[in-house]
A and B are shown apart, each in its own frame.
Chain A
Amino acid sequence: MSGHGKPMVLNRRGVLRSGAAASVGLFAPAIARAAGSTIKIGYIGSLSGIRAAFGETESWTIEKIRAHLAAGLDHGGRHYDVELVIRDNQSDIARSATVAQELVLRERCNLVLVQDGAGAIAIGELADARGVPTISTMLPWQGWMFPRGGNPGQGFPYTFHFFAGSDTVLTNFVQMFDMLETNKKVGTLYLDNPAGQGLMHPEVGLPAALAAGGYQEITAGQFQEATNDFSAAIAQFRDAGTDILSGFMYPNHFIPFWNQAAQAGLTPKACAMAAAFLFPGPLAALGDTADGLATEVWWTPRFPFGSSITGQSAAELAAEWEAETGQQWTQPLGYGHALWEVGLAAIARSADPLDPEALRDAIAGLSTETVVGPVNFAQSPVKNVAITGLVGGQWRRLGGSHPYELQVVNNATMPAIPLDAEMVPLGGA
């Protein structure tokens, strides 16, 4: 494509690198499914519902992208209009299936971008069967691949995913616990959903990671989504004298859990709960007691990467969000933006963006730089998955403009990310 004259507005590096592959693709049969030269990009995101916090920045990101694509795209000497079909799955599996059918069968999108795990799993089979290239993110790749019955050697026909692995989350948890002086007793509990089940897997989940690190796990097992009473688990942890709490739950579980733990007099030295406090919002409801909660970190404004769409650095992107919305940045700001970067980079290196096979091949061979770091499908050990990096951080009360700031305290799993602070016990140093 680089040989076809017009410079791409998309990702130049990706385009240059893909020149050779694309010119081969040119001779592939081009079956345009949409009439005229309009590229239809579908989008599924959790704009509301239980994972609404994951989608908080999405509407803003989509508006930026809409403005960027308003004039359409020039590709291979042709001009394409771009139509965005945005759907909220309300974080719900049944609703995800409905919107997936809408995007694939009724709207007949050329490419579908999915920002939510339930949405990605719901659309997976349909998109593979109907040949609609789909890129998803915001879910550890194991949680996307295995529940769908896939395996790393085989992959899927048309569906792709980029995100960090849950194994890296666990590595970070243990590495952060290692930084503190504790009795090495860890109380765990897990939400009974696919992500929670994956995390409590005895061989590849948290139990194995803790055992390998020399920690003793005292587990309260799983709990139901609608649970609002954690007194039994808390009593079990208190009786066992656990210094550390871990597991998997959402903020609406963590707030009653943490409150009830304090009511019962349970005072751990460290707490790292996957998915529970990725976001600053719920922390404000916990007052002073959230100082030192540890979490996996997929992205912060201090990540030394930039956007291939706007040219902004991570810090500039976060600053723009904060200036325009008055809200603190959240981690999905980076990944929500990167999802469009990857989608547009794939279109840019596709021989024909309207041909599903050409677009599928373009994604499979993609290696691009985004605001969250390198996204590399081409040289990935796992088919259809680009594994991105992840570090460990702590929420700290620093007295700045926001109640809590996320500080990276462990970068052993992604040394390119600078450290912000040292790990401290709960309640601050």
Chain B
Amino acid sequence: MIAGLIETLFQGITLGGLYGMIGVGLALNFGILRVVNLAQGELITIGAFLAVGLVALAPGLSFAAVLVGAFAGCALIGAAMQAAAIERAMAFRDPMVPMLVTFGLAVILRNLLVETMGADLRGLDVGGLGQARIDIAGLSLGVLPLVTLAIALAAFGGLAALIYRTAFGRQVRALSDRPDIAALMGVRVRRVHTLVAALSAGLAAIAGVLLAMRASVSPFSGVAHLLVAFEVVVLGGLGSIRGALGAGMLLGLTQVVSSRFDGNAGLLYVHLVFFAVLVFRAMTGRLS
């Protein structure tokens, strides 16, 4: 009984790490750039497809190289999107404009992906790792979920160190708090914006790789990812990185625990928890 409970918690926390990863790019983008990037789901999908493509092209590539390759590829796409389109849209005072631009970009990316890769589902073959397990005191813990969690935690740790411990991070935070004063102090606004967009797209790619290792992705799965990402960002407090990890854990635990009682619920209870938290916040007047 206790063992079953611990295993459930383990599954929930590892899935939560993945959900946190799905949300963190969106949180970063919103927190710093004040842009709701509706193309985040597509970037996650593209990250997964990049990894699958890399493995197909160079089968001997190490996992770290695949991860870096997917990160770099997506970061380039994110930076290009920011520099070419979103930055200009941000000049409008209305936040709807950049959001609509990202919506358009999402549609374009999705259809490009269908055109070039087809509508098939793809997964990342991880060999024996997929079934490996560790037995501790009567518990069976999967190695793949552990690896997923470790990568997610490392990504969160790295991101926190970058934002709170480096000169670049100081510029980013300054820009986020008072963009006008930061610009006066010599922060190169556009450059920082582009780098943040690249970073958030790169984080989406890592989430995509982790997803493809666990199950499979299709060009159409971006929308489902975006929904999870949204819930993570809103639950975690808009733009909060640490909050995103906590919110991911809460949603992951909710999904795994609820499936014990109702196997066909899917993400229903996840959405219900999200809804309940929002209602609670609205009642206590802490919506944002």
Contacts and interface: CB of A to CB of B under 8 A. Distances in A.
Interface of A: 48-50, 52, 90-92, 189, 192, 220-224, 226-229, 231-233, 235, 239, 252-253, 255-256, 258-260, 262-265, 284-287, 289
A252 B140 contact: no
Contacts of B11: 229, 231
Nearest to A190: B264
A263 B133 contact: yes
B144 A263 contact: yes
Nearest to B120: A52
Contacts of B264: 192, 221-224
Contact of A227 (B7, B144, B145, B266): B266
Majority SS at the chain B contact face: mixed
Contacts of A220: 263
Contacts of B120: 48-49, 52
B8 A289 contact: no
Contacts of A263: 131-133, 140-145
Given A48-B118, A226-B224, A287 B123 contact: no
Contacts of A284: 125
A264 B140 contact: yes
Given A235-B4, A262-B133, A222 B119 contact: no
Given A220-B263, A229-B15, A263-B143, A255 B123 contact: yes
Interface residues of B, number: 40
Given A235-B4, A259-B131, A223 B266 contact: yes
A222 B130 CA distance: 24
A252 B224 CA distance: 16
Contacts of A224: 264-267
B253 to A, nearest CB: 11
A326 to B, nearest CB: 15
A52 B266 contact: no
A229 to B, nearest CB: 6
B132 A52 contact: no
Nearest to A266: B140
Nearest to A231: B11
Given A229-B15, A232-B259, A263-B144, A239 B266 contact: no
Nearest to B18: A228
B181 interface: no
Contacts of B286: none
Contacts of B265: 224
Given A260-B142, A263-B143, A50 B263 contact: no
A229 B7 CA distance: 13
Contacts of B118: 48, 52
11 contacts: A49-B120, A91-B119, A220-B263, A224-B265, A226-B221, A232-B8, A258-B131, A260-B142, A262-B131, A263-B143, A265-B135
Interface in B106-140: 118-121, 123, 125, 127-128, 130-133, 135, 140
Contact of B266 (A48, A226, A264): A226
Interface in B1-31: 4, 7-8, 11, 15
Contact of B215 (A222, A228, A231): A228
Contacts of B119: 48-49, 52, 90-92
Nearest to B132: A263
B22 to A, nearest CB: 12
B4 A264 contact: no
B178 interface: no
Given A231-B11, A255-B216, A221 B4 contact: no
Contacts of A221: 263-264
A54 B186 CA distance: 59
B215 to A, nearest CB: 4
A291 to B, nearest CB: 13
Contact of A231 (B8, B131, B211): B8
Given A49-B119, A227-B266, A232 B260 contact: yes
A287 B7 contact: no
B255 interface: yes
B144 A259 contact: yes
Interface in B142-171: 142-145
Nearest to A282: B123
Contacts of A232: 8, 256, 259-260, 263
B4 A223 contact: no
B8 A222 contact: no
B127 to A, nearest CB: 6
A239 B4 contact: yes
